[in-house]
């Protein structure tokens, strides 16, 4: 037993003292009540005085209750007004968010058509190149026109790319830059906003257009080469997308980009 803990005898003594103290207080209270009863018995009309005092007390308490109810009602009205204002603000913000989501849906619906158009342009360009190689006597196309067409094609592809498509391009760019192989399926488990099938399809589509070359072994991807012109336009395209469509991607898109950088880095 600890030295600081009281022993059994001390505990019993404390209990006895409490009991005797209670007896003494009870006796004193009884004596005081008896003395007051005897003393007040000599006062005439004591009951009338008591009734009058109780009536005045009730009146004062009623006035206090009315005043309190008045102030409480004003406070309740102010609280209700604040709640109505907050609800109006939330409704307005929700309306802006719905408009942004509808705009994004329209952009996503345009992606397949844009990709099909871009593939047609690339195929047409390839046919022109083949025809030019078969006819050496034909004049060489202006180099400035070719570079302008390449710039326009890349800009168009990145502008119509989805958010997840831009992430796939950024992933391939960092992997090529760091000469690092990555597991596409592992990345899609780290970022639940994109599925493996979507990421795989977008990677194949961009590689087929000729923006970069890659080798796959199962789900592992090795980006061997990437067009420098295409690589230097990916990050500006991501920044422009966040600026032009700030809601809600200005909050959830940067963390998804950080996942890519940590995954490759």
Output the pLDDT for position 2.
Answer: 47
Output the pLDDT for position 93.
Answer: 65
Cα atoms in the 13 Å half-sphere on the side-chain side of 243: 7
Task: Report pLDDT digits (tens) over 213-262.
Answer: 999 899 899 999 998 888 888 888 888 888 887 666 667 788 888 898 88
Strand partners, 182: 221
pTM value? 0.46
Task: Report pLDDT digits (tens) over 136-173.
Answer: 554 555 667 777 877 788 888 888 888 888 889 889 99
Residue 114 or 152, more confident: 152
Find the length of the chain: 265
Output the pLDDT for position 1.
Answer: 47
- Alpha-helical (H) ranges within the chain are 8-40, 46-134, 143-160, 163-178, 184-190, 196-209, 228-244, 249-264
Strand partners, 220: 183, 217
């Amino acid at each position: 037993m600890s030295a600081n803990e009281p022993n059994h005898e001390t505990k019993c003594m404390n209990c006895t003292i409490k009991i005797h103290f209670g007896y003494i207080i009870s006796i004193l209270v009884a004596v005081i009540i008896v003395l007051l009863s005897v003393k007040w018995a000599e006062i005439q009309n004591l009951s009338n005085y008591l009734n009058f005092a109780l009536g005045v007390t009730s009146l004062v308490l009623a006035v206090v209750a009315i005043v309190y109810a008045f102030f409480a009602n004003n406070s309740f009205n102010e609280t209700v007004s604040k709640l109505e204002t907050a609800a109006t603000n939330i409704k307005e913000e929700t309306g802006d968010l719905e408009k942004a989501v509808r705009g994004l849906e329209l952009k996503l619906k345009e992606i397949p058509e844009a990709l099909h158009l871009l593939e047609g342009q690339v195929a047409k360009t390839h046919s022109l190149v083949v025809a030019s190689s078969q006819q050496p006597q034909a004049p060489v196309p202006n180099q400035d026109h070719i570079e302008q067409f390449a710039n326009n094609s890349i800009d168009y592809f990145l502008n119509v790319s989805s958010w997840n498509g831009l992430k796939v391009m950024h992933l391939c760019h960092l992997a090529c830059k760091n000469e690092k192989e990555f597991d596409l399926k592992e990345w899609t488990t780290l970022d639940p906003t994109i599925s493996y099938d979507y990421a795989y399809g977008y990677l194949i589509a961009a590689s087929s257009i000729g923006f970069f070359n890659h080798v796959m072994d199962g789900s592992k991807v090795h980006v061997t080469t990437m067009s420098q012109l295409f690589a230097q336009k990916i990050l500006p395209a991501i920044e422009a997308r966040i600026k032009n469509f700030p809601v809600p991607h200005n909050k959830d898109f940067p963390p998804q980009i950080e996942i890519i950088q940590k995954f490759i880095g």
